[in-house]
Structure 1
Amino acid sequence: MTEAARQAAADLAELRAGTADGVATGQPVLDRLVALLDLERIEENIFRGVSPAQSPVRVFGGQVAGQALVAAGRTVPAERKVHSLHAYFIRPGDPSVPIVYEVDRIRDGRTFTTRRVIGIQRGKAIFSLSASFQQPEPGADHAEPMPIVPDPETLPTRAEIMRKHADKLGDFARLPRPIDIRYVTDPPWELRDRGPAEARSQVWMRADGSLPGNELLHVCVLTYASDMTLLDAVLVRHGAYWGLDNVLGASLDHALWFHRPFRADEWFLYDCVSPSASGARGLATGRFFARDGTLIATVVQEGLLRILD
């Protein structure tokens, strides 16, 4: 285990009281996310990662996806950029146990490189990822426009919103947050009190601090963030939400396409909609826009969602 990762695992719990409202945010928490993404190399194609000491009962899906992408990227020449990933969450991850990532070098072509990564705990696969990398080249270029939304500075922070619901959300409201989130649509905790709403969630996001210039790191931080708020678009359609209702949920699969360069420590809009829910599964799609309106990435996820009586 790297010293940075060891420090991350040991210190995150101490950050719970990092701000006056009891929600840890800012550069220290972001630095620990960067440390968590700094995997230990065990062998040429084998890496090991840890989880924060202050974790829910299972590993956050965005964390394991980000770590797996780091493992894949460290076996690919830096000039080849990841353009897509497809992942399955196979078993719940135990945050008290390190995750071993085994990378299979599927193909190294003239312009494309393909990698497959399996995340393992206690000898069993908990996660699988396939990622494709490409040598940049010119070609056709078009994109949908960004929705018209308020500027992020005009919106309250997530911590300010959650403070009003801390008595109901408990520890969930106080977990360290390396991502700054500003809700454009009404926050799900408030929508829940009004009943079913449009199956849509819009938030501004950015890493809560400054990141190094490493391009792969920015992609992995966005991958981490992409598992946040996405399934909210499903739940608000049914007037339910995590922590406030009897909802059993988990990410099942996750796909991301990266279209254009970006920085994850600058504001980006996450525009999510849910076209369908059935069979205790909800589907959500999301688009990431840089602040200047550039479409930077697209995501699709299906999640297990059991809304119990």
Structure 2
Amino acid sequence: MPTDIPRPEELTDNIERLKILTEDSRIPEHYRQRYKNFMDTVTPVEYRDIHNGNSEEFLSGYMKPLENQGQWFKTRERLPDNDPKLHACAIAYASDSGILMSAVRANGMIGRRGIGMMASLDHSIWFHVPTRADECPRSNDERGTSFGRIYNQQGVLVATCSQEGIIRLTKGEQARRQKASHEDNASSTPSKL
């Protein structure tokens, strides 16, 4: 997980951010009304975007293109402890909601302004360990997930692929790495006086 991003408790819920926009008289009334209607809709997931735009960006219709978009999410209500499948379903649902906005923001657009239609064509998710949907998720490194882009000779992106896998080392390589790790730890451990 990147270390340079704010923790979820340091960020404002996206609904609260929309509330700020609805109170800004510089924002056209039809957008403010749209946000008010959205805020009245009960959403089961709380989202906290790392960068969600502000009034000035909204008014200009442009924001600095973002190469990466970060978002924390969790369910608004506590879910049962004994139902890991429900947690997995909730995470899959939540992850499909905001991920496409990465492509929008990479092009300097803010929100859905100027977008006629946007829909998910496909969506894949791999669960590495059981987790809770009512807590902000973190990642770990127990498995390998790779993402690739395939281009033709003209430089046109023709396909994007992803693959998750498990990579097991031979016993000899495991022993070599374990020995090297112990040697590194021993050499970096300060001697006692």
Shorter-chain-normalised TM-score: which range?
A: 0.5 to 0.7
- Partner SS state of residue 165, structure 1: helix
Change in CA separation of 1:163 and 1:199 when aligned onto 2, cut-off 3 Å? same
- Aligned counterpart, 1:187: 52
- Aligned counterpart, 1:222: 91
- Aligned counterpart, 1:260: 129
Which TM-score applies when normalising by structure 1?
Answer: 0.38
> In the TM superposition, what whole-angstrom CA distance separates every residue of 1:56-82 from its partner, at most 9, and x where no partner exists?
xxxxxxxxxxxxxxxxxxxxxxxxxxx
- Aligned counterpart, 1:174: 40
> In the TM superposition, what whole-angstrom CA distance separates every residue of 1:196-225 from its partner, at most 9, and x where no partner exists?
412321111111121012010000000110
Aligned counterparts of 1:228 and 1:188: Cα–Cα separation in 2: 17
- Aligned counterpart, 2:66: 198
Change in CA separation of 1:164 and 1:269 when aligned onto 2, cut-off 3 Å? farther
Q: Give the share of equivalent positions with the same residue, in percent.
A: 25
- Partner SS state of residue 97, structure 2: coil
Change in CA separation of 1:195 and 1:241 when aligned onto 2, cut-off 3 Å? closer
> In the TM superposition, what whole-angstrom CA distance separates every residue of 1:271-305 from its partner, at most 9, and x where no partner exists?
xxxx98xx9x9x799xxxxxxxxxxxxxxxxxxxx
Aligned counterparts of 1:181 and 1:189: Cα–Cα separation in 2: 16
Higher helix share: 2
Higher strand share: 1
Which TM-score applies when normalising by structure 2?
Answer: 0.58
Do 1:202 and 1:269's aligned partners in 2 also have CA atoms closer than 8 Å? no
> In the TM superposition, what whole-angstrom CA distance separates every residue of 1:23-66 from its partner, at most 9, and x where no partner exists?
xxxxxxxxxxxxxxxxxxxxxxxxxxxxxxxxxxxxxxxxxxxx
Root mean square deviation, CA, Å: 3.4
Do 1:240 and 1:247's aligned partners in 2 also have CA atoms closer than 8 Å? no
Instruction: Mark the structure with the bigger radius of gyration.
Output: 2
Aligned counterparts of 1:243 and 1:163: Cα–Cα separation in 2: 16
Q: CA deviation at 1:262?
A: 0.7
Aligned counterparts of 2:39 and 2:113: Cα–Cα separation in 1: 12
Do 2:65 and 2:109's aligned partners in 1 also have CA atoms closer than 8 Å? no
Q: How does 1:1-309 map to 2 (within 5 A)?
A: 145-166=1-22, 167=29, 168=31, 170=34, 171-184=37-50, 186-188=51-53, 193-213=61-81, 214-268=83-137
Change in CA separation of 1:189 and 1:229 when aligned onto 2, cut-off 3 Å? farther
Do 2:131 and 2:137's aligned partners in 1 also have CA atoms closer than 8 Å? no
Letter paired with 2:120: S
- Partner SS state of residue 132, structure 2: coil
Unaligned runs of 5+ in 2: 23-28, 140-147, 150-155, 163-193
Do 1:200 and 1:234's aligned partners in 2 also have CA atoms closer than 8 Å? no
Letter paired with 1:161: R
Do 1:158 and 1:183's aligned partners in 2 also have CA atoms closer than 8 Å? yes
Unaligned runs of 5+ in 1: 1-144, 286-309
- Partner SS state of residue 205, structure 1: strand
Give aligned pairs, total. 135
- Partner SS state of residue 79, structure 2: coil
